Amino acid sequence: PVSSRQAFPLPSLPRKQPTVLVVCGPAQNGAIGLVCARHLRIFDYEPTIFYPKRSPDPLYRDFTTQCEKMDIPFLSYLPTEVQLINDAYNAVVDAVLGAEAEAGEGREPCAAILATLKHVRIPIVSLDVPSGWDVEAGSSGGISPDVLVSLSAPKQCARRFLGRQHFVAGRFLPYDVQKKFELNPPKYPGTECVVAL
């Protein structure tokens, strides 16, 4: 979670206000999105969150409280007219579904959200897995993120990623885990917690 924020390009944003829409799904990927939104706020971005199906997990509920107390607005609905999203925000963080998502589980309202996101013209930054993609096979006709931040290590579907930048955020994986799974991670520069692949 601490690492996802660093993939965001710094103020070279087209809109006057550094607005970012963070779309959070019902499970862990969404919770990571909440943490990301909070750090974006600390970095002086103006995040807005859409979090339609809130997890009952106490840790994730606390993440929500932290965002609310930091005056990060929560949308009550996602506009279906994409031009409204294109006009209001510089980028969208896709924290809807991660590698843990299983087919058919909690798919609504995710399917509707993804249908809208498919048509936005502003860059999408996906956390771990572009939402809706099969973790291994990738996607046909799903969302096309501009930036992918692989968490821990890239998933197989990342091979099909065609966007501009692919970061991996896995610096803090213990060495024995890295060896056990033969991750062969790249070298992280300095004290950075993300590295561009």
Partner 1 sequence: DRERCRPHRAMHGPNAGSGPRGLRFLGQEEAQAIDQELFIEYKFSVDQLMELAGLSCATAIAKAYPPSSFTTSQPAVLVVCGPGNNGGDGLVCARHLKMFGYQPTVYYPKRPNKPLFEGLTTQCQKMDIPFLPEFPAEAALIDELYGLVVDAIFGFSFKGAVREPFGSILSTLERITVPIASIDIPSGWDVEKGKADGLQPDMLISLTAPKKAAMHFAGRYHFLGGRFVPAALQEKYTLNLPPYPETDCVLQLT
Give the footprint of partner 1 on this chain (CB under 8 A). 2, 5-6, 8, 10, 41-43, 59, 62, 65-66, 69-71, 171-172, 174-176, 190-191
Is-contact 126 151, C-beta < 8 A?
Answer: no
Nearer to partner 1, 3 or 131 (CB): 3
Q: Which is nearer to partner 1, 139 or 178 (CB)?
A: 178
Q: Choose between 38 and 166: whose C-beta lies nearer to partner 1.
A: 38
CB of 65 to partner 1, least distance (A): 4
Q: Smallest distance, Å, CB 36 to partner 1? A: 12
Tell me whether residue 59 or residue 103 sits nearer to partner 1 (CB atom): 59
Neighbours of 142 (CB within 10 A): 18
CB of 141 to partner 1, least distance (A): 34
Distance CA 35, CA 182 (A): 28
Rounded CA-CA distance 141/37 in Å is 27
CB of 79 to partner 1, least distance (A): 27
Q: How far is the CB of 31 from partner 1 (least distance, A)?
A: 12
CA-CA distance, 103 to 123, in Å (whole number)?
26
- Min dist. Cβ of residue 191 to partner 1 (A): 5
**Residue 93 structure tokens:** 């963080």
Please state, as a whole number, how many other Cβ atoms lie within 10 Å of the Cβ of residue 9. Answer: 14
> Which residue, among 121, 124, 117, 179, has the nearest Cα to 149 in the 3D structure?
124
111 vs 177 by CB, closer to partner 1: 177
Residue 2 CA to its chain's centroid (Å): 12
Distance (Å) of CA 61 to CA 35, 39, 51, 52, 98: 11, 17, 11, 13, 19
Given the complex with partner 1, which of 172 and 181 has the nearer CB atom? 172
